[in-house]
Structure 1
Amino acid sequence: MRFASRFLPRSLSTIINNSQRSSAKRIAVVAATSVGLGFGAMTLWPRGGPTTASAVTDLPVYTKMVVSTHTTPETGIWVTYKDHVYDITNFVDSHPGGRSKITMAAGKAIDPFWAVYQVHIDSKDAHELLESMKIGRLAPEDVTPPPEGAELNHFDGEPERSPLLNIRSRRPFNAEPPLSLLGDEFHTPNSIFFVRNHLPVPNVDDVTYRLRVDGAEREISFTVAELREKYEEHTISATMQCAGNRRTGLSTVKTVRGLEWGPAAISTAKWTGVLLRDVLLDAGCDASGPARHVEFEGLDKDMSGDPYRVSIPIEKAMSADGDVLLAYEMNGETLPRDHGYPLRVVVPGVAGARNAKWLARIRVRETESDGFWQREDYKLFAPSSSPETVDYAKAPAIQETPVQSAITEPASGSDVDADDEVITVRGYAFSGGGRGIDRVDVTIDGGRTWRVAELDRGAGIVRRLNRNWAWTLWEVDVPISAESSGSLAIACRAVDSANNTQPEKGEHVWNFRGLLNNSWHRVEVNVKGSEN
């Protein structure tokens, strides 16, 4: 079962234009997730009841038994949704999640995992694409809605969330704070820290929970209390950033796949926990041995039982300067459920996807994790690449993130009074890999001239060479003419401690997944001229 945002954003027109080559291109969302076998015989109605009578009345009628016999390329691979039947045969080999996952739905209903990944249900494109693969109607006797009051809901018991968050998907829940609030405090309050969930939030049993560590010389396990008692506690300030931060900036260049993240899929917290290095040393891990990767497995699982799994290089995990934490507190409070309670890994300077939550297992491996989000997502491709042509196996998994900055104030579209003669511009800057921020520049004339911002690196935060884990906030007053009026474009760029800077245009970093957009961030404001 895979998160649907990877497949939905392809434009409908592009898929339909490709349909003569393969009907698979018209249904890039039908079986984007695998289905638990226990739900295969059920037909559920995530929204309302069965569909109304089809406008096409001459479609053949198939029983559930007949559909169940169509599970191979030779017989045709069929699925049902509500009261219709669909042929997805040509899509199977193109499925980004892999053939083995999608064929778990063969001959069964897709309703259960659409009920989990409700972005399908809310997407017009998803329904139109599925409609293009319709081949028949399900026999009336097999169209059985669930009993009244019954509900398949894998999101029961989800935590409460702040109404201030801007929601990018409800199930799984993903949201970012208002940009205007992002830089108000150096450490982002827990309630508005951006949320990135790939799967339903698990309900963790405090009584039975134990972290398992294996793959090294000794297998060990701990409760959170045992971790706290056995190892020295550490606190670090670290920024976490989704690899899809600022994706909407690339979607204005050309359609991309993924959640529509703005510039606020990034936040900073004070994390408290124990060093992963200390735990691995206790397990007998040797960074000079054959093992080259450390895998993190979460308690969040898809309907097939496959957990969220990712990994980092062992050099980062074992480095005395890597500061990788097994965190149980966030900003001085118990780790919130949305952020991984009771235990998560915090990998400073590395893309958010590697910071696994609800940590169940740590495994030392010779090869990187074979989890989906390590092998078949969160990889960067050239602007000329397309989903149909890329080979995920040849691309490295994203680890460190590039230098980044964004404007948090003024807001795009806001009014500015020319009589004030200056515009105060504020924002954040961050670079992965522990690289600090040396400078932030702001322009209002397309880069012909620049103003250098004042930097706020956080009071009391110790920064060392290649261990700059927290963002830098910045501010600058930009003069404007009292006679100015109309639209004014403001842009920023940052320079990190390795003298890396941001490219000017989104076209230069565009990729079909919309990842790692670090082009100049721009906002447009309306300058109101003097009335004198």
Structure 2
Amino acid sequence: MIVHEVEPYNAESPPEALVGQITPLDTFYGRNHAPIPQVDAESWRLQVDGLVDRPLELSMDELRHRYPERSVVATMQCAGNRRAELMEVCDIPGQVPWGPGAISTARWIGVSLADVLAEVGVRPEAAHISFTGADVSDQAEPPQPFGGSIPIPKATSSEVLLAWAMNGEALPAAHGAPLRVVVPGWIGARSVKWLSRITAQAEPSDNYFQTEYSILPPEADPHTAKRGEGITLGPVAIHCAILEPGKDARLPSGPTEVAGFAFAGDDRTVERVDVSADHGNTWTHAHLEPPENPWTWQHWHATLTLPSGETELIARAWDSTAAVQPESLATVWNPRGYANNAAAHLHVTCRS
């Protein structure tokens, strides 16, 4: 793991862990805003309340046996993925300098959030489902548990899970045990870990982290920005990364395999990846692996003939709505460093 902070633990997956469809548990990225809480699974209870007809309190045993077990393979990505590249445009103080590895994919097992909501009977005036975790962060003033919300249409989609396992093993404490939310296609911050409460409400969550995860205008001061000033983040934006060759690699000139992944976010899919070795004057269409479902990344590879000397590789992805990655990092820079989906650039040196 590439560890950025020990407490709270923030670490990204190394490039070699991202080449497979499923990311091993020991190299799955971790993003936290507080120390990892130790939750006793025996005494743990999930509260389901708010604008519902029949509030519930569920133990883990009740959750497991009350609803059908479901699974989904889904890619999870931190909203700050690739922030380090934005920091090269202009510094972003106080933020984790994520490379391209704040993203991983797992097979999640649990129950459908929609099944739980159907039992409690969400009232018509409810428009959002909010989640509260057990991790208390002092980034908020005063400190508060991490939380956030998603709109009802997403919350009642079949892919959204309350998960207790990943990759066939019990959910590790580092990834939210005993229970976490998994919101496929959306930023990782909405997949609240160490889940303790689900609330149906008319408005989005008023949790600090609901609006902290937003894109502010370039001129804004994130320390004085008012609630609602930014664009609150939800679905992931189309982007890709180059995994092979590695950063600043020294290679022989001639035919060279270039490979990476692309992720469209929400329920979109990646339709094309273009790769260039001549500053975008010409492009090669990469071979693109099909997704297991709309909520997973897609790996790609292409063979380019690289000239002797310094070369900058560029990769860009297109999604099923025909959206394409912007070419310049400067166009997506923002003072919190979120949602960097500029085209991927990689510098290499080739020798004859």
TM-score band by shorter chain is over 0.9
Max Rg structure: 1
What are the within-5 Å matches in structure 2 for residues 478-493 of structure 1? 478-480=304-306, 484-493=307-316
Q: CA RMSD in A?
A: 1.4
Cα deviations by residue, 1:254-293 (Å, 9 ceiling, x for unpaired): 111410000110111111110000001100114xx11111
The counterpart of 1:344, out of the listed 180, 188, 197, is: 180
Higher helix share: 1
**Alignment-derived partner of residue 214 in structure 2:** 379
Q: Which moved more, 1:217-226 or 1:187-196?
A: 217-226
**Alignment-derived partner of residue 256 in structure 1:** 92
Cα deviations by residue, 1:74-125 (Å, 9 ceiling, x for unpaired): xxxxxxxxxxxxxxxxxxxxxxxxxxxxxxxxxxxxxxxxxxxxxxxxxxxx
The counterpart of 2:63, out of the listed 222, 227, 230, is: 227
Tell me the distance in 1 between the aligned counterparts of 2:103 and 2:176. 16
Q: Which has the higher contact order (CA 8 A, sep 6+)?
A: 2
Cα displacement (A) at 1:389: 6.6
Cα displacement (A) at 1:426: 0.7
Alignment check: 8 A CA contact 1:247 1:515 kept: yes
Tell me the secondary structure at the aligned position of residue 525 of structure 1: strand
- 4+ residue runs over 6 A deviation: none
Tell me the distance in 2 between the aligned counterparts of 1:396 and 1:415. 41
Alignment check: 8 A CA contact 2:216 2:231 kept: no
The counterpart of 1:359, out of the listed 160, 176, 195, is: 195
Matched, 1:391 2:209: no
Tell me the distance in 2 between the aligned counterparts of 1:211 and 1:388. 34
**Alignment-derived partner of residue 455 in structure 1:** 288
Alignment check: 8 A CA contact 1:180 1:411 kept: no
Alignment check: 8 A CA contact 1:457 1:471 kept: no
Q: How many residues align?
A: 347
Cα deviations by residue, 1:117-163 (Å, 9 ceiling, x for unpaired): xxxxxxxxxxxxxxxxxxxxxxxxxxxxxxxxxxxxxxxxxxxxxxx
The counterpart of 2:273, out of the listed 440, 448, 467, is: 440
Cα displacement (A) at 1:388: 6.2
Tell me the distance in 2 between the aligned counterparts of 1:305 and 1:378. 17
Cα displacement (A) at 1:244: 0.2
The counterpart of 1:327, out of the listed 154, 163, 182, is: 163
Tell me the secondary structure at the aligned position of residue 316 of structure 1: helix
**Alignment-derived partner of residue 276 in structure 1:** 113
The counterpart of 1:415, out of the listed 228, 239, 250, is: 250
Cα displacement (A) at 1:387: 3.1
Tell me the secondary structure at the aligned position of residue 322 of structure 2: coil
**Alignment-derived partner of residue 140 in structure 1:** none
- TM-score normalised by L of structure 2: 0.95
AA paired with 1:427? G
Cα displacement (A) at 1:511: 0.4
Alignment check: 8 A CA contact 1:173 1:195 kept: yes
Tell me the secondary structure at the aligned position of residue 315 of structure 1: helix
- TM-score normalised by L of structure 1: 0.64
AA paired with 2:116? V
Higher strand share: 2
Cα displacement (A) at 1:220: 0.6
Cα displacement (A) at 1:370: 1.1
**Alignment-derived partner of residue 318 in structure 2:** 495
AA paired with 2:46? L
Structure 2, unaligned runs of 5 or more: none
Alignment check: 8 A CA contact 2:262 2:270 kept: yes
Tell me the distance in 1 between the aligned counterparts of 2:8 and 2:279. 39
Cα deviations by residue, 1:210-232 (Å, 9 ceiling, x for unpaired): 11111111111212221111111
Matched, 1:512 2:335: yes
Alignment check: 8 A CA contact 2:41 2:60 kept: no
The percentage of aligned residue pairs carrying the same residue is: 41
AA paired with 1:503? P
Cα displacement (A) at 1:390: 3.8
Tell me the distance in 1 between the aligned counterparts of 2:328 and 2:252. 28
Matched, 1:425 2:258: yes
AA paired with 2:290? R
Cα deviations by residue, 1:275-315 (Å, 9 ceiling, x for unpaired): 000001100114xx111111100011246662111111112
Matched, 1:306 2:144: yes
Tell me the distance in 2 between the aligned counterparts of 1:338 and 1:524. 34
Alignment check: 8 A CA contact 1:242 1:265 kept: yes
AA paired with 1:294? I
Alignment check: 8 A CA contact 2:134 2:195 kept: yes
Structure 1, unaligned runs of 5 or more: 1-164
Alignment check: 8 A CA contact 2:216 2:229 kept: no
Cα displacement (A) at 1:168: 1.0
